[in-house]
């Protein structure tokens, strides 16, 4: 049995949430101050942890095990980054937790520092329970932008870290069990043309014209997918989607544009081929580039995939699903419209479910909040997990 050290400080769940919300961990900023706090807190309770830093060294994920260190258990996974508050009409300081009328307000309170706070606040109780099956804590970064903050830690599972039996990703589902969501890949395409007077287009190559041909190809592929309906009735919309979020190029009406940029994405249903659209776009790019180079040999088209978030596919009867059903008192699963880190765990062969307190409807909003009722239900969920892990 692991015992607490004299320096261990106990936090009530709301107090822990207040500490976490106070860290400004918007995705474009560092999360290291929060990670250092969590490390110190766990060390105070005699719980070792492992960091997984990013390449720049300004962010890190953290993994810790409570209970037996030599076997896999149940992962409670949450991200530490939050979305920006700029441009939102907050009625209170977003980085100071404010409790009023049965709600706890603050950036990240529901998405998803609430889940992380519950897991951390219960560490002393997990330790006192003398767990037979370990509970692993895994806290990531950059979920809101790339979902890549989990990949190094996942790669270590089954190698330098125990291979978990099941993973619970605590995104806000109102403690419903989400066993499916779409995958998402995001891309940035840079087109380099050659400037010339618009009266003599044969002396250059318009990057904007090339961009419109590529954009039209993406729109055509999007239209095709509207006819490929998923008959399960679980997804809204029930087909793969392609979206162009940004299109920018050119400096004047009478100058052939020498630059055009596109930012676009593909969201695929579980079971769809995520390679199909990128492959067709690459073929189209080659055709468009060949046309440009007839008059501008220096023309170029470069596409970079900026994120790759795999979808989560239903896995009926998996250990993650059956466990979470018992803990949450549910007998069915749902699909969610948003993407999560769960697909990365599943891709690594780990049974995974998405289940956490609070509603996604309050996420990313000004005056974001989690209800105290849902926060308490999340605590009850984790205490039931503790009871299950206590007996093995």
Q: Are strands 259-268 and 241-249 parallel, antiparallel or unpaired?
A: antiparallel
pLDDT of residue 63: 98
Q: Which of 39, 111, 142, 143 is catalytic?
A: 143
Please confirm, yes or no, whether 315 is among the known catalytic residues.
Answer: no
pLDDT of 4 strictly over 50: no
If you average pLDDT over residues 206-235, what whole number do you get?
96
Token pair, residue 231, equals: 């008959």
pLDDT in tens, 142-200: 999 999 999 999 999 999 999 999 999 999 999 999 999 999 999 999 999 999 999 99
Q: In the chain, which ranges are continuous DSSP H helix?
A: 13-21, 32-44, 113-121, 123-128, 151-156, 207-225, 276-292, 319-328, 342-347, 372-391
Using alpha carbons, list the distances in angstroms from residue 261 to 172, 205, 289.
35, 15, 14
pLDDT tens for 194-211 read: 999 999 999 999 999 999
148-to-59, 60, 299, 343, 372 alpha-carbon distances in Å: 12, 11, 32, 11, 31
Q: How far apart are CA 272 and CA 258, in angstroms?
A: 36
Non-local (6+) Cβ contacts of 100 within 8 A are none
- The predicted model gives 321-341 an average pLDDT of 96
Q: For the chain, which domains are there?
A: 13-180+311-391 (3.40.630.10), 183-309 (3.30.70.360)
Q: pLDDT tens digits, residue range 286-313?
A: 999 999 999 999 999 999 999 999 999 9
Question: What mean pLDDT do residues 115-143 have?
Answer: 97
| 0.85 surpassed by pTM | yes
For the chain, percent of residues with pLDDT exceeding 90: 97
Residue 142 burial (CB count, 10 A):
21
Instruction: Evaluate if residue 262 carries a pLDDT over 90.
Output: yes
Q: What is the pLDDT of residue 392?
A: 77
- Is pLDDT of 367 > 80? yes
Whether 144 is catalytic: no
222 has a pLDDT exceeding 50: yes
User: Which of 357, 319, 279 shows the shortest CA–CA distance to 78?
Assistant: 357
- Report d(CA 335, CA 233) in Å as an integer: 10
How many contiguous H segments (helices) and E segments (strands) does the chain have? Answer: 10, 15
Is the model's pLDDT at 140 over the cut of 90? yes
d(CA 260, CA 247): 7
Q: Which H helix or E strand runs over 83?
A: none
7: confidence class by pLDDT, cuts 50, 70, 90 = low
Across the chain, mean pLDDT equals 96
Flag whether pLDDT at 1 surpasses 80: no
Mean pLDDT of 129-148: 96
56-67 burial, b at 16+ Cβ within 10 Å, e below that, comes to: eeebbbbbbbbb
**Residue 137 host element (H or E):** strand 135-140
Q: How much is the pLDDT for 385? A: 98
pLDDT at 8: 86
- Residues 82-106, mean pLDDT to the nearest whole number: 98
Residue 5 has pLDDT above 60, yes or no: no
pLDDT the model gives residue 288: 98
| Distance between CA atoms of residues 244 and 265, nearest Å | 7
Q: Which of 81, 240, 321, 368 is catalytic?
A: 81
Q: What average pLDDT does the segment 139-143 reach?
A: 98
Residue 136 parent element (H or E): strand 135-140
- Contacts for 29-33: CB closer than 8 Å, 24+ residues apart: 30/58, 30/59, 31/59, 31/60, 31/80, 31/81, 31/141, 32/58, 32/59, 32/60
């Amino acid at each position: 049995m692991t015992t607490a050290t004299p320096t261990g400080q106990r936090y009530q769940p709301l107090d822990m949430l207040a500490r976490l919300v106070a860290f400004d961990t918007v995705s474009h900023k560092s999360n290291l101050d929060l990670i250092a706090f969590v490390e110190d807190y766990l060390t105070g309770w005699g719980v070792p942890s492992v960091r997984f830093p990013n390449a720049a060294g300004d962010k890190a994920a953290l993994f810790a095990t409570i209970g037996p260190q030599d076997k896999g258990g149940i992962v409670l996974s949450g991200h530490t980054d939050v979305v920006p508050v700029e441009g939102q009409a907050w009625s209170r300081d977003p980085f100071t937790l404010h409790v009023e009328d049965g709600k706890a307000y603050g950036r990240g309170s529901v998405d998803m520092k609430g889940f992380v706070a519950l897991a951390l606040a219960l560490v002393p109780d997990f330790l006192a329970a003398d767990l037979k099956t370990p509970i692993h804590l895994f806290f990531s970064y950059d979920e809101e932008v790339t979902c890549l903050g989990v990949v190094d830690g996942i790669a270590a599972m089954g190698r330098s870290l125990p291979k978990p039996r099941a993973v619970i990703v605590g995104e806000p589902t109102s403690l419903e069990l989400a066993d499916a969501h779409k995958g998402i890949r995001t891309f940035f395409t840079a087109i380099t043309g050659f400037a010339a007077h618009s009266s003599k287009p044969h002396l250059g190559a318009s990057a904007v014209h090339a961009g419109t041909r590529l954009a039209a190809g993406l729109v055509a592929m999007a239209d095709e997918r509207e006819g490929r309906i998923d008959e399960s009735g679980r997804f809204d919309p029930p087909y793969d989607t392609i979206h162009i979020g940004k299109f920018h190029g050119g400096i004047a009406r009478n100058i052939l544009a020498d630059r055009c940029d596109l930012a676009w994405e593909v969201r695929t249903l579980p079971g769809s081929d995520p390679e199909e659209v990128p492959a067709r776009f690459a073929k189209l790019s080659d055709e468009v580039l060949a046309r440009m180079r007839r008059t501008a040999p220096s023309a170029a088209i470069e596409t970079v995939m900026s994120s790759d978030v795999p979808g989560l596919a239903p896995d009926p009867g998996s250990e993650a699903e059956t466990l979470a059903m018992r803990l949450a008192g549910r007998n069915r699963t749902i699909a969610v419209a948003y993407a999560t880190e769960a697909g990365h765990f599943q891709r690594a062969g780990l049974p995974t479910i998405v289940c956490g307190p609070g509603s996604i409807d309050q996420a990313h909003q000004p005056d974001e909040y989690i209800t105290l009722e849902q926060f308490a239900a999340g605590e009850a969920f984790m205490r039931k997990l503790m009871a299950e892990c206590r007996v093995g």
